[in-house]
Amino acid sequence: MTEPSEQLFSTEVQPADAPGALGQAAGLLGQGQLVALPTETVYGLAADARSPGAVARIFEAKGRSAGNPLIVHVDSVEMARGCVAAWPSAAAQLAEAFWPGPLSLVLPKAESIPGIVTAGGDTLAVRCPAHPVMRAVLAKCGFPLAAPSANRSSRVSPTRAEHVVDQLGGRIPLVLDCGACDIGIESTVLDLTGDTPTLLRPGMISLGQLQAVIGPVAVAKPPDGDERLKSPGQLPRHYSPRAKLVVCGDLAAALGQANKATHVIAREPAPANWPSELWHRLPDSASDFARAFYDTLHRCDRLGAETILVQSLPDTDEWVALRDRLNRAAAEA
Binding segment toward ligand TXA, per CB under 6 A, in 48-56, 77-85, 168-176, 225-233? 225-233
d(CA 89, CA 276): 52
Gap between the Cα atoms of 271 and 294, Å rounded: 23
Q: Does 240 bind ligand TXA (CB under 6 A)?
A: no
* Shortest Cβ 303–ligand TXA spacing (Å): 25
DSSP annotation of 149 reads B
Does residue number 301 form part of the binding site for ligand TXA (CB under 6 A)? no
Residue 230: contacted member of Mg ion, ligand TXA, none (CB under 5 to 8 Å, by partner type): ligand TXA
Single residue of 113, 200, 278, 330 touching ligand TXA by CB under 6 A: 200
* 243 belongs to the binding site for ligand TXA (CB under 6 A): no
Handedness of CA 213, 222, 58, 116 (dihedral sign): negative
Interface with ligand TXA, residue 104, by CB under 6 A: yes
Strand arrangement of the beta sheet that strand 307-311 belongs to: 244-248, 307-311, 262-266, 279-281
Choose the stretch contacting ligand TXA; rule: CB under 6 A; options: 34-42, 259-267, 298-306, 322-330.
Answer: 34-42
Complete DSSP assignment for 96-136:
HHH-SSSEEEEEEBPTTS-GGGGTT-SEEEEE----HHHHH
SS3 199: strand
Residues 6 or more apart whose Cβ sits within 8 Å of residue 1: none
Binding-site member from 16, 29, 61, 70 for ligand TXA (CB under 6 A): 70
- Does 68 help bind ligand TXA (rule: CB under 6 A)? yes
Footprint of ligand TXA (CB under 6 A): 39, 41-42, 44, 68-71, 102, 104, 106, 118, 121, 123-125, 127, 129, 147-149, 186-187, 189, 200-201, 230-233
